[in-house]
Structure 1
Amino acid sequence: MTPTSSDTTASPDVSGVVPPTVTAFDGNGDVDPDATAAHAQFVVDGGANAVFPLGTNGEFALLTAGERRRVVEAVTDAVDVPVIAGVGAPSTRETVANAEHAASVGVDGVVVVTPYYYPLDEEGAVAHYRSVAAAVDVPVYVYHIPSKTGNELSLETLGRIAALDGVAGLKDSSKDVPWLAQAIDANPDMDFLVGSDSLLFAGLELGCTGLVSAVANVFPELVVDLYDAYAAGDEDEAQRLQSTVFDVRSAMKRGPYMAGVKTALSLRETDFDVGGLRAPLRTMDDAQRAALETDLRELGVL
């Protein structure tokens, strides 16, 4: 990838498959850095091109500041691919502190979710990203997920943020295809990562360079094959694999919110255990787990 026009520091190569890796918990519910790192290495061994710890799948909003730092350190130490670490928080002060720590331990970029809970206007959004970008020497990626944060960026606001020194790209989980298409068209110097498994193929067609895929947390090979097929010009095969991703995604969405990824990982019988989810999130019950296993076996991915 090339540097943005407003930044003299080249962006890390976060094209391809970039799983939003999970945070593992031990039997006491504490963060397990070793298992967290092992999961990151698992997706890299499956072909992932980069990793994104402390995204939504990483349960970042349920972790203490110290736990977040341990996750970033563990993953950065474990893998030899680019690491773009989630550092977002409701306040600019806390976001900057998280970003400074992440940069100090060697991440290749930071991902900054729009501040959440309080409504955010255009001036506040631009000032927030300006403060983070000014505080670190690594590229900053905007994380746009208005369904969870309550704050949607207008195309005009994104344009102002894109012009800031140090802002390299955007990870979009809005599922708003017209918005994403216009954002890519209006900001050709930014790197765009599509953040929904329902739009992997569509995101590539629009011009996204990376796929942030929850399915890739469990079945990295599947999503890597999709990306590679598309990159090789075999769109029919990429579309076929997108259909499989649809089916896997639907199977993993049964039961409580986000329980599918960690349950499916346990069904893969890896040599690490990522544990359950942190309360108030909860895991699948026995019936849901059995149904998920049946579905995944019928799909041929287990």
Structure 2
Amino acid sequence: MHGTGPPLVTPFDADADLDEDALRDLVGWVEARGVDFLVPCGSNSEAELMTAEERARAIEIVAAEASVPVLAGTGSPGKRETLVATEAAADAGADAAFVVTPFYYGHDQSTLAAYYREVADAAAIPVYLYSVPVFTDVTLEPETVGRLAEHPNVAGMKDSSGDIAAFQRIRERTADADFDLMVGAGGVLGQALAAGGTGGVLALANVAPEATTAVYEASEAGDDEHARELTAACVELNHAVTADYGIPGLKYAMRQRGAPAGHARSPHRPVDEDARAALDDLLDELADLRIDR
């Protein structure tokens, strides 16, 4: 996968049920604003708050509706559930599987590597590694990634550490492989692309897909300075819809922009008045942002 894509939020209705029509509409909304691929059932999709059946249905809907590649989140703490979900995603038409590091129990790097090799051996579609230590307290070390990149069915990785030095070390260890390296932190997108990244899977791409696309296009055109400038202009909004206000804030901001984001599922709670005001101010700044030179 190259370019930028959102870990697509999952619209829930007022009763917290999957809103299938809104999900279809959301696919069209982000595609019309330039995303290069879609990632249903990622962290910002509230996948961990969904049943296995709901996750499979969401992937099925997105794969049927999308006109861009679909990188489907299929990872769980155990291999059996991951393989069942990956098979279902492949049957639904997903282009690749997005597999989070096993979490809950502690595993060393050799165990993580063995797990990914077993998943990749069995999967009918390419496998992308997903390291998101802020949620899992598990980090795939650059040396481990380098070894896994040699597997013919391990196609790439999303690194959500936000650590550019570690990102560069991963790139160095995968440089000779056919391996897509994507960043998961919108606040460092320009820097990661300059360091050899092939794109980003970004919460920010749900609410500001035009901006994340513009960063990637500037980088591809060799204008790293403009890519960094655009990244810097979006840092505060990115922080607000991730660290500050999380998924409820992200969905609020999306709704303010006209996206059919739906509601967040419990235990999430709607953002309060102060948060809404802060997000509105940041959205006003986004509206004033000039993405072209």
Q: Which bracket does the TM-score occupy, shorter chain normalised?
A: over 0.9
CA distance in 1, matches of 2:110, 2:32: 42
Quote how far apart the aligned CAs of 1:206 are: 0.9
How many residues are paired up? 287
Distance 1:296 1:254, change over 3 A: farther
1:206 — aligned with what? 195
Deviations 1:12-60 (A, max 9, x none): xx20111111111011101112212221221111001111111111111
Whether the aligned pair in 1 keeps the contact of 2:77 and 2:104 (CA below 8 Å) is: yes
Q: Does 1:266 align with 2:250?
A: no
CA distance in 2, matches of 1:44, 1:301: 22
Q: CA RMSD in A?
A: 1.7
Quote how far apart the aligned CAs of 1:107 are: 0.6
Superposition pairs of residues 85-96 of structure 1, within 5 angstroms: 85-96=72-83
Q: Does 1:236 align with 2:225?
A: yes
CA distance in 2, matches of 1:253, 1:115: 22
CA distance in 2, matches of 1:43, 1:301: 19
Q: Does 1:157 align with 2:144?
A: yes
1:226 — aligned with what? 215
Letter in 1 for 2:283: L
CA distance in 2, matches of 1:41, 1:210: 21
Quote how far apart the aligned CAs of 1:215 are: 1.2
Whether the aligned pair in 2 keeps the contact of 1:144 and 1:173 (CA below 8 Å) is: yes
Whether the aligned pair in 1 keeps the contact of 2:203 and 2:242 (CA below 8 Å) is: no
Describe the SS at the equivalent of 1:47.
coil
Q: Does 1:197 align with 2:186?
A: yes
Describe the SS at the equivalent of 2:205.
helix
2:117 — aligned with what? 130
Letter in 2 for 1:25: F
Deviations 1:175-204 (A, max 9, x none): 122221111111121110011011101110
CA distance in 1, matches of 2:210, 2:287: 13
Quote how far apart the aligned CAs of 1:136 are: 1.9
Describe the SS at the equivalent of 1:193.
strand
Quote how far apart the aligned CAs of 1:253 are: 4.8
Describe the SS at the equivalent of 1:261.
helix
The sequence identity of aligned pairs, in percent, is 39
Mark the runs of 5 or more structure 1 residues left unpaired by the alignment.
1-13
Deviations 1:42-95 (A, max 9, x none): 111100111111111111111100000011001001111100000010111101
When structure 1 is superposed on structure 2, of 55-64 and 154-163 the one drifting more is 154-163
2:34 — aligned with what? 47
Distance 1:133 1:298, change over 3 A: closer
Letter in 2 for 1:197: G
CA distance in 2, matches of 1:191, 1:81: 17
1:146 — aligned with what? 133
Whether the aligned pair in 2 keeps the contact of 1:87 and 1:112 (CA below 8 Å) is: yes
CA distance in 1, matches of 2:243, 2:134: 19
Superposition pairs of residues 28-67 of structure 1, within 5 angstroms: 28-67=15-54
Mark the runs of 5 or more structure 2 residues left unpaired by the alignment.
none
CA distance in 2, matches of 1:277, 1:232: 37
Quote how far apart the aligned CAs of 1:299 are: 4.1
Whether the aligned pair in 2 keeps the contact of 1:276 and 1:282 (CA below 8 Å) is: no
Instruction: List, as ranges, runs of 4+ consecutive aligned residues in structure 1 with deviation greater than 6 Å.
Output: none
TM-score by length of 2: 0.93
Letter in 2 for 1:139: P
**Residue 76 of structure 1, aligned match among 31, 55, 63:** 63
Describe the SS at the equivalent of 1:169.
strand
Letter in 2 for 1:267: Q
TM-score by length of 1: 0.90
